[in-house]
Amino acid sequence: MSKPISLQQFLEKVVLKTDDSFGKQFRGFFADSKGTAELAMLASPTKDEAQQLKKAVAIMTPGEKENAEKLTDQQVGKIAQDAEIDSALLAIFINGYALYLKDAQKNNKRVSS
């Protein structure tokens, strides 16, 4: 079984795709007024979004980073406020990481079965 990547490693993976042309195109496919493009932001964040995410993760405590998937909306909002970034952006990032962990856990169960 492989261990899931950390929040910091997830951030680094997301930031690698900053302003990627394919990612922008992928992101555009989901653009609508219903909010379905939210997680597509992780496919190619803008430079500003990447900077905001780096800023937020930098001020998180080790405990917050280790248990990011368990943070409440209020905790995420407080971190965003303290980092002076968009709280919705941070919430999308944290939710994306939580989904990654859930998928990794599911895949590990399949491998060990």
What pLDDT is recorded for position 1? 53
Q: Model confidence at 17, in pLDDT bands (50, 70, 90)?
A: confident
The per-residue pLDDT for range 30-60, each reduced to its tens digit, is 666 555 566 677 878 889 999 999 999 999 9
Helix ranges restricted to H, the chain: 7-16, 21-29, 47-59, 62-66, 73-83, 87-112
SS3 40: helix
What pLDDT is recorded for position 41? 76
Q: How many CB atoms lie within 10 A of CB 42?
A: 22
| Global confidence as pTM | 0.83
